[in-house]
Chains A and B, each alone.
Chain A
């Protein structure tokens, strides 16, 4: 698996919020995708958008509820088309499958189109260790590969980089002249990557959808690198999560209307590529071998739990990231792994383990904006609550230990509220304890952790001289006299 830094979420988000350059960048960029999405929905009318969402959810629900049947169908159809289907339980197995194909074919250079599953696997590192040059060809992914960073956003991996930063990066790593014109930067990348495409032994892609009926992989792109990777090299390997399946080719019409609009506000992307297998004898060109690797890597956990199953409906549009108040303030890197934002907060703990990612289900105010914008109506807040519940009531001691603080406070609160006498005594005790810290009705700082977090970014209102209970009793007794 690629490096996991989810344990550092709290620290990383604090640093992100204190980083003026990052904050300026986030402010500049964050509204952009969301506004584009809104405009696109306005254009086809909100009623039509709702219809599409409902249909899409129905299709995904049926498919996931019968995922075993559809995976079997995919295997049958892709094999009949001349392709090879592989199955990987985890990242380790998936890497081994790719390594095997590489070794058997003497692959030296691989051109990669965007694949988030390959990020889960840490595939580039594995290939590098084997002496294979694996070049990211999606411009955003190419930039972060050169910068040796992880993606900042599902759709726009390098959105946190300014053109000056990109120019310096290209200049250092490619020896190209510095420029502040974005067209020139794109042209520099085009030249550098064109040579790789046409020389690559293997093209590695992801998949946005896999159609069971015809055994067809669907790749949705704008740049043309997806087409290059599936046309020029001799071998095409596609890595995809096992949940990307839709039953029929005609179902794609609905998803192709939802995905581009939700992601970037586009009506349709420049290219949609449909791969069902390798080239056939009469074809002019195309790969001689087509491999589809279906990856589990923890998705089984979400499949098994009926409360988490709908996390598998996700089509990776990024709309939830763009609207989330947490993501908009801390950015993608703070989440510490491949998938940031609201959907990341659900998926990551299932893929890397709840104890490691215990802060992610709490990285939410439960405002529900993500659920409102999701094209598949995925109820993310519900699942975040479910994960919090799992943490505190888990059978696994590791998971329970991780939730200790929250359980402690919940139990303490329950104790306080269990009788009016206890609450009253607590109030009186609190009045005494707060006295050194209170000033003008406010408590600005509690120096004792873990309570100190409550005053880190705001002032608490001090406990008043009389509780409501006291006042009520006194009024009542006055009125009775």
Chain B
């Protein structure tokens, strides 16, 4: 019997029942449950703790690996422990590219890296794309679209693939790392992980823990690319043409 359904399409129950019948299954749950989905919160916590210990142990090797791979994956890479050097790098970049307008996120790492004043002195106006800055969302789009550079932090950096992981939330807009032609991501050593699985484990843990878990995440590896015309690689199609990774340590 078809269940009456107010909007187009059919009900979940009907759809799923069709599948169960097609498979000839007598029960819904898998006969052999999937091991990963059986993991309890405690088990995930334990694995995550072991992961962090492991990462701490190999941290300096990881940072070297990331430094080595990032340029090969399309990043312009700069490494320094010195905050002044880091700020100088950003200012020099703006001067070199004639950037007059910069947008940035409101992440923690940017609080320990005060770039706004130096950039203003160098002729680049900085707008923080966050509700906390008092700007309206309509203005954001225009500002981001006209900006020459977007600066964000990085929630993680994956050494295996030289990937920056951005998790938009309060203080981090989706557009800052996407709309301007240049994106600069500031990576802290403690956020560098080894493999893709590491990020996924930590996100699984966050999810299982519950609470306010973000609904969006981006892996960014190099500039925006296409090979759609004559299989020739072109950068800077819809996303940034140039991406910089600044490793603070």
A: residues with CB less than 8 A from B are 29, 32-33, 62, 65-69, 71-72, 75, 81-82, 85-89, 93-94, 96-97, 99-100, 137-140, 143, 156-159, 161-163, 166, 182-183, 185-187, 189-190, 193-194, 197-198, 213-214, 222-225, 227-228, 230-232, 242, 247-253, 256-257, 264, 267-280, 282-286, 290, 293-294, 296, 300, 303-304
- Whether the Cβ atoms of A224 and B237 lie closer than 8 Å is yes
Size range of the chain B interface in the assembly? 35 or more
Of A75, A97, A139, A249, which one neighbours B12 at CB under 8 angstroms?
A75
Of A29, A285, A304, which one neighbours B22 at CB under 8 angstroms?
A304
- Whether the Cβ atoms of B173 and A271 lie closer than 8 Å is no
Contacts of B230 in A (CB 8 A): 29, 162-163, 182
- Whether the Cβ atoms of B178 and A186 lie closer than 8 Å is no
In the complex, what residue of chain A is closest to B196 when comparing beta carbons?
A253
Contacts of B1 in A (CB 8 A): none
CB distance from B39 to the nearest CB of A (A): 9
Query: Which of A32, A94, A228 gathers most chain B CB within 10 Å?
Result: A228
In the complex, what residue of chain B is closest to A212 when comparing beta carbons?
B37
Report the 8 A-B pairs with minimum CB-CB distance, sorted nearest first.
Answer: A224-B239, A96-B8, A224-B238, A140-B228, A231-B174, A87-B15, A272-B219, A284-B173
Scoring B residues 96 to 130 as 1 if CB is less than 8 Å from chain A, else 0, what string do you get?
00000000000000000000000000000000011
Does B54 reach chain A (CB closer than 8 Å)? no
Scoring B residues 1 to 31 as 1 if CB is less than 8 Å from chain A, else 0, what string do you get?
0000001111110111111101101001110
- Whether the Cβ atoms of A284 and B168 lie closer than 8 Å is yes
- Whether the Cβ atoms of B170 and A282 lie closer than 8 Å is yes
- Given that A190-B238, A227-B178, A272-B219 are known contacts, is A280 also in contact with B140, CB under 8 Å in the complex? no
Does B41 reach chain A (CB closer than 8 Å)? no
- Whether the Cβ atoms of B22 and A275 lie closer than 8 Å is no
- Given that A68-B16, A190-B238, A282-B170 are known contacts, is A303 also in contact with B23, CB under 8 Å in the complex? yes
Q: How far is the CA of A285 from the CA of B12 in the complex (A)?
A: 30
Contacts of A139 in B (CB 8 A): 226, 228-229, 237
Does B90 reach chain A (CB closer than 8 Å)? no
Of A89, A247, A272, which one neighbours B36 at CB under 8 angstroms?
A247
Contacts of A193 in B (CB 8 A): 238
- Whether the Cβ atoms of A249 and B225 lie closer than 8 Å is no
- Whether the Cβ atoms of A231 and B178 lie closer than 8 Å is yes
CB distance from B36 to the nearest CB of A (A): 4
Contacts of B207 in A (CB 8 A): 213-214, 249
B: residues with CB less than 8 A from A are 7-12, 14-20, 22-23, 25, 28-30, 32, 34, 36-37, 73-74, 129-131, 137, 140-141, 145, 161, 163, 168-175, 178, 195-197, 200-201, 203-204, 207, 212-232, 234, 236-240
Given contacts A227-B174, A285-B173, 20 further A-B contacts (CB under 8 A): A71-B15, A99-B8, A139-B229, A143-B228, A156-B228, A159-B228, A194-B238, A214-B204, A227-B218, A231-B216, A248-B34, A267-B73, A270-B222, A273-B219, A274-B216, A274-B219, A279-B215, A283-B216, A284-B170, A285-B137
- Whether the Cβ atoms of A284 and B215 lie closer than 8 Å is no
Contacts of B130 in A (CB 8 A): 284
- Whether the Cβ atoms of B170 and A296 lie closer than 8 Å is no
Contacts of B200 in A (CB 8 A): 249-250, 252-253
CB distance from B225 to the nearest CB of A (A): 4
- Given that A182-B234, A213-B37, A249-B203 are known contacts, is A156 also in contact with B170, CB under 8 Å in the complex? no
Q: How far is the CA of A268 from the CA of B219 in the complex (A)?
A: 10
Contacts of A286 in B (CB 8 A): 168, 174, 215-216
Q: How far is the CA of A194 from the CA of B178 in the complex (A)?
A: 11
